[in-house]
Amino acid sequence: MSIHEHHRVHRIGWLRAAVLGANDGIVSTASLIIGVASASASKDSVLLAGVAGLVAGAMSMAAGEYVSVSSQADTEQADLDIERQSLDSNYELEVDELAGIYEQRGLEASLARQVADQLMSHDALAAHARDEIGISDKVTARPLQAAWSSGVAFTAGALMPLLTAWAVPADGLVFPVAVASLLSLAVLGTLAARAGGAAVATGALRVTFWGALAMTVTAGVGNVFGAIA
C-alpha cells in the first residue's frame, strides 16, 4: 500500500507574503478609517484616506517584499557561488565535509562517505546547497512571487473595511468597520492556519487580537485629535 504525505513547506514563500499582506491590508486600512472617523472627519475624507491607504499600502508591501526577498536571494546566490568555487578547487575536501554532516546525523562513517559520494556524483552543488547551507528549491527566495502575493493580498484585505465604510452611514461608521474587520481577520487567521497546517483557533485568535489592539489605539488617537481640533 502506497502512502503519500501532503507536506506544506512548499507554500512558505507565497503563504507568508499573502498572510502578511492581507493582515496588514485589513488592520492598517481599518485602523486608518477608524482613526480618521473618530476625529469627526467627513465621510468623503474618511473614504479618501482609506483609498489612499490602500494604494500606498499595496505598493509599499509589494516593494518591501521584493526588496527584502531579493536581498535573501542575493545572499543565497552568493553562498552558492562560494560553494561552486570550493567544489571546483577542493572537491575531495567537500566530499569529506558532506560525509561529516551525515555522520553527525547518525550515519556510520563508511555509509556517510558512500552517500556523500553518490549524491555529489549526481549533483554536487545541490547536495551541498541542501545539506550544508540549507537552501532548497521548495523554500528558495522568489522576489516576484512574494511581491505579487503581498500586494494583491493587501488590496484584498483593505477592500473589506473600505467597502464597509462606503456602505454604512457616516455617523455610525466606526463600529461596523471594526466588526467587519475583526471578522475578516478571524477568517484570514483560520484560512492561513489551515493552509499551513497549524492550529485554527490559535491562528484566528492571534491575528484578531493584534488587529483589535491596533484599531483601539488609532481610535483613541483620533478621538484625542478630534477633541483638540
Tally of structural domains, the chain: 1
pTM of the model: 0.70
Residue 1 domain-assigned? no
8 Å CB contact between 133 and 79: yes
pLDDT of residue 195: 67
Residue 2 domain-assigned? no
pLDDT of residue 7: 41
Q: Block means of pLDDT (10 residues each) for the chain, length 229 residues? A: 44 63 89 88 91 93 87 84 88 89 88 89 85 71 80 91 91 89 87 71 82 85 65
CA distances from 215 to 35, 160, 178 (A): 8, 14, 7
Separation CA 72–CA 76 (nearest Å): 6
Residue 38 domain-assigned? yes
pLDDT of residue 15: 65
pLDDT of residue 77: 84
Residue 211 domain-assigned? yes
pLDDT of residue 56: 93
pLDDT of residue 137: 63
Residue 3 domain-assigned? no
Residue 164 domain-assigned? yes
Q: 172 is in which domain, residue-wise?
A: 10-228
Residue 4 domain-assigned? no
Separation CA 96–CA 104 (nearest Å): 12
pLDDT of residue 197: 67
pLDDT 10s digits, 165-177: 999 988 888 899 9
Residue 24 domain-assigned? yes
